[in-house]
Amino acid sequence: MKKEVFERFLKYIKIDTQSDDNSQTYPSTSKQFDLAKILQNELQEMGLKDVSLDEHCYLMATLPANTTKKIPVIGFIAHMDTSPDMPGVNVNPQILQNFDGKDIVLNQTKNIVLSTKEFPELLEYIGQTLITTDGNTLLGADDKAGIAEIMTAVKFLIDHPEIKHGTIKIGFTPDEEIGRGVDKFDVEKFNAEFAYTMDGGGIGELEYENFNAAHAKVIFNGRNIHPGYAKDKMINAMILAMEFNAMLPVNERPEFTQDYEGFYHLIKMEGSVENASIQYIIRDHDRKKFEAKKVFIKQTVDYMNAKYRENTVVLEIKDQYYNMREQVEKTFHIVETAKKAMEEIGIVPKVVPIRGGTDGARLSFMGLPCPNIFAGGHNFHGKMEYVPVESMEKAVQVILKIIALYSK
């Protein structure tokens, strides 16, 4: 399994599947089909049933049960796209065997170093095989590690028909990184009783709580006047944007929060004297605090419009997803089984809240309870991303063990 998941991962990360949050198409980029079609062919060659790739780049397949015993239909899901935050084309992975615990030079020319001081969790993987970037792109472990793990687990079950199991559903989605991963997901067609996303971080992570999430775009309408004659006339939209941002609580930025603490995260700025805009993502695990953050944003907009003039500041705000906990707790055995699966193969489960979101968060509210299991990678969305091969191998074993536990 180790060799297979390793080879699959290296194959998949070579395919550029970066999503685009400025696109209005589904999927947001047609190149996501490049990976989807490869996976479609592989699933068909394995002999899976009901392999389908729709016009929105949702790929689904079924591994039929090989026993008449009544067993729940279990789904496993991963996403095909990579983050727009960092280039995902021409990924050139570096393989570091028998990691010795020293700093890793990713790119000597650019002096990019994966430092054990800055990333001390590296020391947990001494003696293992690490796959890193070359310092120019992200790696793509988020979530091609999850895809490789699911594909490897399915192939193992096919090659070992003596292992009895119920019906297994496979789902690969587009556009998760831009919050649209399940916009067109057909839960009824998928037809699983529950599922797991293989989209977590380091080994042992098991998550059934995530942020409540919203996106806010704040537009500033200024007035451009020749600076020589601007007194009492000019309204500089960029200055307004800076004023607005300064009114948000500094201690509620991502760099100052952890665990269950929420934040306002400034993700984009653009503009001129005449027009400017800033965009935020708003996050909190607590629903009441989440709603309060949105109210505070609206009150700040109202304040600035009262200070200057009506419609000087315009707010566009949209909820993205909610905390899956309230849905998953209704079928909590799926979390307990995943935890037991890890323990039985020698992994210490790390049950932690996701400081982000997954496809599973929204799927849980669409009637498909879906906690999140580690895929093994670290430092997602950037050039410092890496994944230990042994962690991917363990993720495959967790999938197989979950299936085994439900098949008893």
305-311 long-range CB contacts below 8 Å, 24 or more apart?
308/235, 308/240, 311/221
Question: What is the C-alpha end-to-end distance of the chain, expressed in Å?
Answer: 23
Residue 357's pLDDT is: 75
Q: Is the per-residue pLDDT at 179 higher than 90? A: no
The catalytically annotated residue of 16, 143, 175, 176 is: 176
Residue pair 37/24 in contact (Cβ under 8 Å)? The answer is no
Strand order in the sheet with 313-321: 263-271, 275-284, 212-221, 313-321
**Active-site residue 176, yes or no?**
yes
pLDDT digits (tens, 9 = 90+) for 325-336: 989 999 999 999
Q: Does domain 2-210+323-407 have CATH number 3.30.70.260?
A: no
Q: Supply the pLDDT for residue 82.
A: 97
Residue 408: pLDDT over 90: no
Under the banding of pLDDT at 50, 70 and 90, the label for residue 1 is confident
Q: Give the list of residues 6+ apart from residue 166 with CB closer than 8 angstroms, or none.
A: 65, 67, 69, 71, 72, 73, 74, 403, 406, 407
Mean pLDDT across 199-206? 95
Q: What is the pLDDT of residues 297-319, one digit of tens each?
A: 999 999 999 999 999 999 999 99
Any idea where the domains of the chain sit in the sequence?
2-210+323-407, 212-321
With a cut of 80, say whether residue 164 has pLDDT above it. yes
The helix or strand, by DSSP H or E, that contains position 283, with its residue range, turns out to be: strand 275-284
Find the mean pLDDT for residues 153-171.
Answer: 97
Residue ranges in 47-168 assigned as alpha helix (H): 141-159
Q: Which of 16, 81, 207, 284 is catalytic?
A: 81
Active site residue 344: no
Taking the C-alpha atoms of residue 304 and residue 212, their distance in angstroms, rounded to an integer, is 26
In the chain, % of residues over pLDDT 70: 100
d(CA 368, CA 352): 21
Cβ proximity of 91 and 212 under 8 Å = no
Model confidence at 358: pLDDT above 80: no
Structure tokens at 214: 């919203």
Backbone angles phi, psi at 339, to 5 degrees: -65, -45
Coil, strand or helix at 350: strand
CATH number for the segment(s) 212-321: 3.30.70.360
Residue 247 to residues 113, 206, 237, 299: CA-CA distances in angstroms? 36, 36, 16, 11
